[in-house]
Amino acid sequence: MNSHRILVSTAILAMAGLLAQSRAAEVPKLVVAKITQAPAVDGKGDEATWRSAKPVEVVAKGVMPKTRGTSSTVTLRAAHTDTHIYLLVQWTDATKNDAGHKTWVWDTTKNAYAEDTDREDALSIAFEHTGAFTANMLSGDEAVWDVWHWKAFRTNPQGFAMDRLHHYFKSQPTVKANKHTAKDGGDVWIARPEDSGDTVEKKQAAPTENKGARMPQYLHGIPTGSAADVQAKGAWADGKWTLEFARKLNTGHADDTAFDPSRSYKLAVSVHNDTGDMDKASGVIELSFAK
Ligand SMILES: [Ca+2]
Ligand SMILES: [Ca+2]
Ligand SMILES: [Ca+2]
């Protein structure tokens, strides 16, 4: 390598370093506005109280082989009262998919139900809970995230998000978990339990007899206990979902992140278009409370 090349390489390395620094400095900041009038959790962001919350726009990028290269723009606003935190999330999605999810369809040739290809839209917000928060499900770090998983068919009609944890392990845990390959090539085991209490969605096996051409695989449950902490309601219009969340700042439940307005928290958001799989995700966003 001649000296010119070395100089160029050094310059490129220095530039890469600067870019990395500026990226680190550009973690989007979501400031939680202090409000006195709680917004209605109805999928309309039209309350005057939301105008005091500064929007943050992030791009959720496709992270799966079939969604790589796709993206959705996600706008977040946050506000809090003395007792609750509220989020208003809007994202681009050209199609409203909320009519069903993996519906059982009677197959007349097999005389049995088979799973349809229908899928719903969904959005997840993950907050740091225990350990390092990287926003990357495949980082390989052992950590716990508090995840609010709103689903357009399975949880929206009841007015909730599924309140759950993501628990990441390097080796197989005793709890139910799925194994994936971490970005360093090692194993990552992911458990995604719903919080304690009655579930927000009830899965039902396919009936063995013909009960009609289409039968839902998921029934709407009314959650209780720690599973019932996250109210959420979304509405789709003009190529965009608008979704509002409400939760107590501190639920008192160990499976939830308790928000202390004196500190900041890392979070990330993922949006899912017409799928039950992972789809598009943001990087780390920092949430802090207005002084
Ligand atoms: Ca509203
Ligand atoms: Ca959609
Ligand atoms: Ca909970």
Reported as a single tens digit per residue, the pLDDT across 179-206 is: 999 999 999 999 999 999 999 999 999 9
User: How far does the centroid of ligand 1 lie from the alpha carbon of residue 44, in Å?
Assistant: 4
* Average confidence (pLDDT) over 91-95: 97
pLDDT band at 1 (very low <50, low <70, confident <90, very high): very low
User: How far does the centroid of ligand 3 lie from the alpha carbon of residue 147, in Å?
Assistant: 9
What's the pLDDT score for residue 23?
54
User: How far does the centroid of ligand 2 lie from the alpha carbon of residue 95, in Å?
Assistant: 4
pLDDT band at 26 (very low <50, low <70, confident <90, very high): confident
Which bound ligand lies closest to the C-alpha atom of 147? 3
* Average confidence (pLDDT) over 71-76: 97
Q: CB count, 10 Å around CB of 250?
A: 14
What's the pLDDT score for residue 151?
98
What's the pLDDT score for residue 13?
52
More confident call, 215 vs 8: 215
Residues surrounding ion ligand 3 at CB below 5 Å: 163, 195, 226, 229, 253, 256
User: How far does the centroid of ligand 3 lie from the alpha carbon of residue 289, in Å?
Assistant: 21
Mean pLDDT of the residues in the chain: 93
What's the pLDDT score for residue 279?
96
pLDDT band at 291 (very low <50, low <70, confident <90, very high): confident
User: How far does the centroid of ligand 1 lie from the alpha carbon of residue 230, in Å?
Assistant: 15
User: How far does the centroid of ligand 2 lie from the alpha carbon of residue 265, in Å?
Assistant: 29
User: How far does the centroid of ligand 2 lie from the alpha carbon of residue 240, in Å?
Assistant: 9
Reported as a single tens digit per residue, the pLDDT across 212-237 is: 999 999 999 999 999 999 999 999 99
User: How far does the centroid of ligand 1 lie from the alpha carbon of residue 234, in Å?
Assistant: 9
Cα gap 128→178, rounded to integer Å: 20
* Average confidence (pLDDT) over 100-122: 98
Reported as a single tens digit per residue, the pLDDT across 235-280 is: 999 999 999 999 999 999 999 999 999 999 999 999 999 999 999 9
User: How far does the centroid of ligand 1 lie from the alpha carbon of residue 23, in Å?
Assistant: 33
pTM for this prediction: 0.90
Domains of the chain and any CATH numbers? 29-289 (2.60.40.1190)
User: How far does the centroid of ligand 2 lie from the alpha carbon of residue 122, in Å?
Assistant: 8
User: How far does the centroid of ligand 3 lie from the alpha carbon of residue 248, in Å?
Assistant: 10
Which bound ligand lies closest to the C-alpha atom of 161? 3
